[in-house]
């Protein structure tokens, strides 16, 4: 973000295109402006840190009966101590000041999603509502001082329509690379027919576009980053193996790559459980 900031403080609106179930969308991310105690202002895009915080809060809402509905919006009541403990147990230790900053970034970042023809789908912060205890309170009673966030309306819609798909949260949090987490979640959500005779195919260009991963001008660098993610999925027994077909154009220049992914039996079992759960919820 440092290289993109104007006057060392302000960031432009981030625009990306992605495809979901055959439809192309445009997402615009308006950065969060944080004002510090000394009056200094700085803008931030949400990063992998905010992604992990949001996933941990969803887990707390599901597992610890802390999920609540206010004004038809799904949210979660939590303590900073509990959230910090959850993240630390999953290998992501974030200190309290950074955790507070992360929650503020999720609250102040505005996300707009539109179809390619300009039709609005949604415009809302990641956390539309944030109620957070002051520093004195959570220092005095870290285990008891309550906070609250309301999740993005898309999360509420998924819950209401029973389309929130089950996946292995613990495994997801164990991944080292952010691209590994994205690929794993994409497979868990989309690869519902996972089997040894039905491999999953995806192109390098699709991964780079839909994941929002930084794209290097050198194609070999992009291949290297995707390979790291695929190797981690293989190590975690999500993939049994994968094949890479390099697509080249004029002067043998790298144009794209096609990946054929063969699921591990552990992942196939996980998908079957998720499918059974979906059927039970709908019946």
- The predicted pLDDT at position 283 comes to 67
Task: For the chain, give every residue range classified as CATH 1.10.10.10.
Answer: 169-282
Helix (H, G, I), strand (E, B) or coil at 106: helix
Beta bridge partners of 260: 201, 243
Q: Looking at residue 152, what DSSP letter applies?
A: P
Max Cα–Cα distance, the chain, nearest Å: 66
Place of tokens 């054929």: 260
Among residues 157, 212, 159, 217, the alpha carbon closest in space to that of 181 is found at 212
pLDDT tens, position by position, for the chain (283 residues)? 888 888 888 999 999 999 988 899 999 999 999 998 899 999 999 999 999 999 999 999 887 666 777 777 889 999 999 999 999 999 999 998 899 999 999 999 999 999 988 887 889 999 999 998 877 777 777 778 889 999 998 888 887 666 777 888 999 999 999 999 999 999 999 999 999 899 999 999 999 999 988 888 787 899 999 999 999 999 999 999 999 999 988 888 888 999 999 999 999 999 999 888 878 776 6
- The predicted pLDDT at position 142 comes to 73
CATH topology (fold) of 169-282 = Arc Repressor Mutant, subunit A (1.10.10)
Distance CA 43, CA 1 (A): 9
Among residues 204, 163, 194, 210, the alpha carbon closest in space to that of 263 is found at 194
Whether this prediction's pTM lies above 0.85 is answered by: yes
């Amino acid at each position: 973000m440092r290289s993109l900031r104007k006057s060392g403080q302000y960031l432009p609106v981030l625009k990306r295109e992605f495809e979901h179930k055959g439809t192309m969308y445009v997402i615009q991310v308006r950065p969060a402006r944080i004002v510090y105690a000394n009056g200094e202002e700085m803008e931030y895009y949400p990063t992998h840190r905010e992604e992990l915080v949001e996933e941990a809060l969803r887990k707390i809402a599901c597992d610890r009966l802390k999920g609540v509905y206010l004004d038809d919006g799904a949210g979660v009541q939590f303590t900073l101590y509990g959230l910090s403990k959850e993240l630390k147990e999953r290998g992501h230790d974030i200190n309290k000041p950074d955790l507070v900053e992360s929650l503020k970034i999720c609250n102040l970042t505005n996300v707009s999603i539109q179809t390619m023809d300009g039709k609005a789908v949604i415009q809302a912060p990641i956390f539309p509502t944030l109620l957070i205890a002051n520093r004195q309170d959570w220092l005095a009673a870290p285990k008891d001082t309550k906070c609250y966030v309301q999740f993005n309306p898309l999360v509420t819609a998924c819950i209401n329509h029973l389309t929130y798909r089950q996946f292995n949260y613990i495994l997801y949090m164990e991944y080292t690379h952010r691209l590994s987490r994205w690929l794993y979640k994409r497979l868990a959500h989309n690869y519902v027919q996972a089997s040894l005779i039905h491999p999953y195919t995806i192109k390098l260009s699709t991964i780079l576009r839909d994941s929002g991963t930084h794209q290097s001008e050198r194609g070999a660098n992009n291949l290297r980053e995707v390979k790291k993610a695929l190797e981690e999925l293989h190590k975690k027994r999500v993939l049994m193996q994968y094949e890479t077909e390099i697509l080249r154009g004029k002067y043998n220049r790298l144009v794209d790559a096609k990946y054929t992914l063969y699921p591990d039996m552990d992942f196939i079992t996980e998908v079957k459980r998720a499918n059974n759960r979906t059927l039970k919820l709908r019946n």
